Homo-oligomer: A and B are copies of this chain.
Amino acid sequence: MKKALAGMRVLDLTQVLAGPYCTMCLADMGADVIKIEKYPNGDDTRALGPFINEESYVYMMVNRNKRSIRLNLKEEEGKEILYNLVRHADVFIENFRPGVAAKLGIDYDTLAKLNKELIYCSISGYGQTGPYKDKGGYDIMAQGLSGIMSFTGDKGGRPVKTGIALHDIAAGNTAVQSILTAYIHRLTGGSGQYIDLSLVDSGLAWTVWEAASYFGKGEVPTPNGTAHRLATPYQGFKTKDGYILVGAANQKLWMKFCSEVVEKEEWITDSRFCTNDDRIANISILEEEIEKILVNQSSTYWLDLLEKANIPSGPIYSYDQTLNDPHINERDMIIEYDHPKAGKVKTLGFPAKYSKTPGEISRPAPTLGEHTEEVLKELGLNLDYSRLLTKGVI
């Protein structure tokens, strides 16, 4: 079976997370992603542990299905090799600080002269324009600037960051979408183009509910723990051995929760908890009262009762519980492949399950420069590799 993105060639000059996450998504669906790693040590994550037989797990996690060539773009011969690659590529993606690509002679204007069909995507912290464009942009700074950090955390507490690198992932996903969109434009008669996207904008675009409240009534969101602003109980509670989520968001579910779960039928007529408005007005007392009961039994005990009562609910898993859950495993969200140096490598699976073009691991994450010769030979370049190696070009 032809892979969905077979025939799409991507030159990937990104490193760390946002860009590599994007090109992993493309490679998983069959694009030929050629990772062009900097001289001499390649992607910075190659130096980040944990390591298995000297291979970085962090690197391997987001670089499966790609080929790697090492290229010194500060050497004229290195740049010539890149130009040759560009002539045969569909997509070029980079995450240098704004201005650096131009200094290296690999900016869009230069490369579009070699290949006007090229789709060129730049990822940066703040974008190629605007007053902050020259600032160093990291995920955490983007989480602060987008406001998301200010409404994540305990009620009345300090801002906290989202556990994952939210804006890196946002930029990576936005890059996938925009590259695929621009590719469709080309397949249906359009030409190549330039795409500028930032960590900040990509995450900010996800604050749609908060934007509706702010634009609609000037409401500024604040952190609220695990709780819903408008309904309760709809939040996390401590149990004897962990935390669970209870979603008794309407009156019928609340009544079932009182009678069938916590066995507090008297709460149904308690003036503090009668209606949802009453419960929201007394939410601190309610939380305390509920938790006093829930801490006496295990999460499993309560989740069984909640399920029997048909009340939306679920565990708050620690990450090891997540990865060992039977549902997660039955959904193939953990897969394993053989790496020539690291041996058996576990990795996360493909979130979209396609009936005809499923994601698959066709190649392990590459070692540094593993495919330099292979790729250059495909271009018909008969180069003196040992001389280029000695000279520090590849």
Which A residues are closer than 8 A to B by beta carbons?
2, 4-8, 17, 21, 25, 29, 49-52, 57-58, 60-62, 108, 126-132, 135-136, 138, 140-141, 144-154, 157-166, 169-170, 173-178, 180-185, 187-191, 193-198, 200-202, 204-221, 223, 225-226, 228, 234-236, 238, 243-245, 247, 312-323, 325-328, 330-331, 333, 345-357
B356 touches A215 (CB 8 A): no
Chain A interface, >50% SS class: mixed
B6 touches A326 (CB 8 A): no
Compute how far the CA of A281 lies from the CA of B126 in the bound complex, rounded to whole angstroms.
Answer: 33
B161 touches A346 (CB 8 A): no
A348 touches B205 (CB 8 A): yes
Residues on the B chain within 8 Å of A315, using CB? 144-145
A6 touches B188 (CB 8 A): yes
Known contacts A141-B245, A177-B180, A180-B181; is-contact A355 B204 (Cβ 8 Å)? no
Residues on the B chain within 8 Å of A347, using CB? 211, 215
A331 touches B201 (CB 8 A): yes
Compute how far the CA of A234 lies from the CA of B152 in the bound complex, rounded to whole angstroms.
Answer: 18
Picked from B127, B189, B217, the residue with its CB within 8 Å of the CB of A50 is B217
B150 touches A160 (CB 8 A): no
Residues on the B chain within 8 Å of A204, using CB? 322, 328, 333, 348, 351
B149 touches A193 (CB 8 A): no
A182 touches B357 (CB 8 A): yes
Known contacts A160-B152, A178-B354, A316-B150; is-contact A58 B209 (Cβ 8 Å)? yes
Compute how far the CA of A350 lies from the CA of B195 in the bound complex, rounded to whole angstroms.
Answer: 12
Residues on the B chain within 8 Å of A131, using CB? 326-327, 330
A144 touches B357 (CB 8 A): no
B152 touches A154 (CB 8 A): no
10 of the cross-chain contacts (CB-CB < 8 Å) are A50-B216, A51-B216, A57-B215, A58-B216, A61-B208, A136-B247, A147-B321, A160-B226, A164-B209, A196-B352
Q: How far is the CB of A284 from chain B (nearest CB, A)?
A: 14
B354 touches A319 (CB 8 A): no
B352 touches A21 (CB 8 A): no
Q: How far is the CB of A25 from chain B (nearest CB, A)?
A: 6
Give the 3 A-B CB pairs with smallest separation, nearest first. A50-B216, A57-B216, A147-B322
Residues on the B chain within 8 Å of A191, using CB? 356
Residues on the B chain within 8 Å of A243, using CB? 144, 150, 158-159
Residues on the B chain within 8 Å of A187, using CB? 184, 187-188
Residue of B nearest to A319 (CB): B147
Q: How far is the CB of A21 from chain B (nearest CB, A)?
A: 7
Compute how far the CA of A255 lies from the CA of B186 in the bound complex, rounded to whole angstroms.
Answer: 51
Q: How far is the CB of A11 from chain B (nearest CB, A)?
A: 18
A152 touches B145 (CB 8 A): no
Residue of B nearest to A245 (CB): B144
Residues on the B chain within 8 Å of A5, using CB? 181, 184-185
A160 touches B149 (CB 8 A): no
A154 touches B153 (CB 8 A): yes
B145 touches A7 (CB 8 A): no
A207 touches B353 (CB 8 A): no
Compute how far the CA of A51 lies from the CA of B200 in the bound complex, rounded to whole angstroms.
Answer: 28
Compute how far the CA of A140 lies from the CA of B236 in the bound complex, rounded to whole angstroms.
Answer: 9
A349 touches B177 (CB 8 A): no
A206 touches B353 (CB 8 A): no
B331 touches A181 (CB 8 A): no
A190 touches B4 (CB 8 A): yes
Residues on the B chain within 8 Å of A319, using CB? 147, 150-151, 207, 210, 214, 220-221
